[in-house]
Amino acid sequence: MTIGERRAAATLSGIFGLRMLGLFMILPVFALYAEHLDGVTPTLVGLAIGAYGLTQALLQIPAGMLSDRIGRKPVMVAGLLLFAAGSVLAAMSDTIHWVIVGRALQGAGAIASTVMALLADLTREEHRTKAMAFMGASIGVSFAVAMVAGPVLNHWIGVPGIFWLTGALALAAIAVVILLVPTPHRSGLHRDTEPVPALFGKVLRNGELLRLNYGIFSLHLLLTASFTVVPLALRDFAGLASGYHSFVYLGVMAGSLLVMVPAIILAEKKRRIKTVFLAAVALLAAAELGLWQLHGSLSAIVAALFVFFAAFNILEATLPSLVSKVAPPDSKGTAMGFYSSSQFLGAFIGGAMGGWLHGRYGIEGVFLGSAVVAALWWLVAAGMRHPSYLSSYLLRVGPVDDAQARLLSERLAGVAGVAEAVVVAEDQTAYLKVDRSRLDVEALQQYAVA
C-alpha cells in the first residue's frame, strides 16, 4: 500500500471507530443512569438504548447513494454533525423521551456506507481487502474499549459527560475529514463496497444471504436486549457496585478474545466454519439460560458473560466472512449494505424487546426471551449450506464494451483458482471469486491494466 492508501485506511478507520465508540459506551451503563430520568419506564429505557439502530438502518444505504451524487466528504461532515447534535441533545436531556430523540439523531448520522465508499475511492483494487480488514479491526477494538471504558467514564463524568465527550469526538472527526483524509481524484461506484440499486432484487432473493442477515439481526438483538438489564443484574442481584463493573467487562472481553482467535483459525484454516458457527450460536443460548437461572451470583454472571462474549466475537468475525463468500462476485457491496442494515435493525428491536420484557416479566423475562431468540437462530442457521472457501478478488481490466466483457469473463473463469468471474464494462473491473491456495496470479495479471 502507498503512503496515501495507508493514510486513508488509518484516518477513516479512526473516524469510524470513534463513532462506534460513542454509540457503544453507554451500553454497559445506561440502564443504571436512566433510573434518574423523568418519565422513565423499562420499555423506554430499551428504546433509548436501541433507538440509534432504527435511523441507522433506514438511512445508511440512502446516505451512501447520496454520496455518489454530491461527494463523500459533504455526506460524512453532515452525518458527523447530526451525530454530534444527537449527543448534545442526549447530554442536556433530563427526560427519557428527549434522550430517545437524541439517540435516534445520533443514528441518523449514518455514514458507514459513505466511509466504505470513500475508502474504496482512495485504495487500489489489489489493496482494498487489506484496507477493509483494517477498518473491521478498528470496529472490534472500539467495541471492546467501549465496554470497559463506559463504566470508568460513567464513574468520572457520568452518562451526560459521556454524551458530551462523544459529541466533541464527532466534531474532532469532522476536522480529520476536512484536513487529514485525502480527497479522491475520482469518485465512482464500487460494487465491492457499495450497494447497487439494480442488484437489490438479486441479493434479496438469495436465501443464504437472507439467512446471514437474520443472523446478524439476531446477534445484535441479543446484545442490546441483554444489556437493558445486565448492569442491573450486576448491581441489584450480584451486589457489585457500578464503579467496579468495568473490571468484569475487562476480564470477560480479554478472555473471550483469547478464545476467538483459535476458533477463527479452526473455522477458516481447517474449513469448519459451519461447525464453529453453530457451536457459537448454541453458546449464546447457553449463556442466556445461565443468566436467566443464575443472575443472583456474581461468579455465575461473569462466567455467563464470558461465554456470551466469546460466542459474540466469534460470530461477529465469522458472519461478514460468510457474506463475502456467499455473495455473487459483483454484489458484495450490495449484500454488505443489507447485512449492515439488518445489524442496526437488530439493535433497535433488541432494545425495544428487552425493555418491554423487563417491564412485563422482570430481568428473568429478558434473559429467557433472549435464550429463545438464540435457539430460533440456531434452527435457522442449521440449514445453511457449507460455504465455499473463496475470497473476493478485483482486477482492473480497462475499457471494454459489453461483448468484450462477456468474453473476458469466460477467459478469467478459466484461470486456475478462479471459481466465478464477472466483468462489468462500465466499471472497467473484473469481480472474481477465487481459491487463493490454487490461484494462478501470474496468469490473472496478464488481463490487468495499470
Q: Are residues 19 and 151 in the same domain?
A: yes
Q: Domain residues for 140?
A: 1-194
Is residue 227 domain-resident? yes
Are residue 335 and residue 412 in the same domain, yes or no? Answer: no
**CA neighbor of 277 nearest in space, from 217, 342, 215, 218:** 215
**In terms of domains, do 270 and 164 share one?**
no
Which of 28-32, 94-98, 183-187, 443-447 comes out lowest in average pLDDT? 183-187
pLDDT tier at 305, thresholds 50, 70, 90: very high
The answer to whether residue 90 scores a pLDDT higher than 80 is yes
pLDDT at 450 over 70: no
Does pLDDT of 443 surpass 90? Answer: no
Query: Does residue 283 sit in the same domain as residue 190?
Result: no
Q: Which CATH number is 425's domain given?
A: 3.30.70.100
- The stretches of 180-206 forming alpha helices (DSSP H) are 200-204
At residue 225, does pLDDT exceed 90?
yes
Question: Do 175 and 228 fall within a single domain?
Answer: no
Q: How far apart are CA 116 and CA 7, in angstroms?
A: 14
Q: Indicate if 124 and 236 belong to the same structural domain.
A: no
Residues 223 and 110 in one domain: no
Contact indicator for 420, 433 with CB cutoff of 8 Å: yes
Q: Phi and psi of 355, rounded to 5°?
A: -65, -40
Residue 216 lies in a domain: yes
- 182 shares its domain with 322: no
Do 190 and 89 fall within a single domain? yes
**Same domain? 367 vs 395:** no
Which CATH number characterizes residue 353's domain?
Answer: 1.20.1250.20
* Residue-level pLDDT at 382: 95
Under DSSP, the state recorded for 204 is: H
Torsion of CA 326, 328, 331, 334, to 10 degrees: -30
Give me the sheet containing 391-396, strands edge to edge. Answer: 391-396, 429-434, 418-424
Q: Which residue has the cell 490461484?
A: 439
The reply to whether 450 falls in a domain is no
> Where is the domain boundary, 355, 371, 389?
389
Whether residues 350 and 215 share a domain: the answer is: yes
Pair 324, 431 in one domain: no
Count up the domains in the chain and report the number: 3
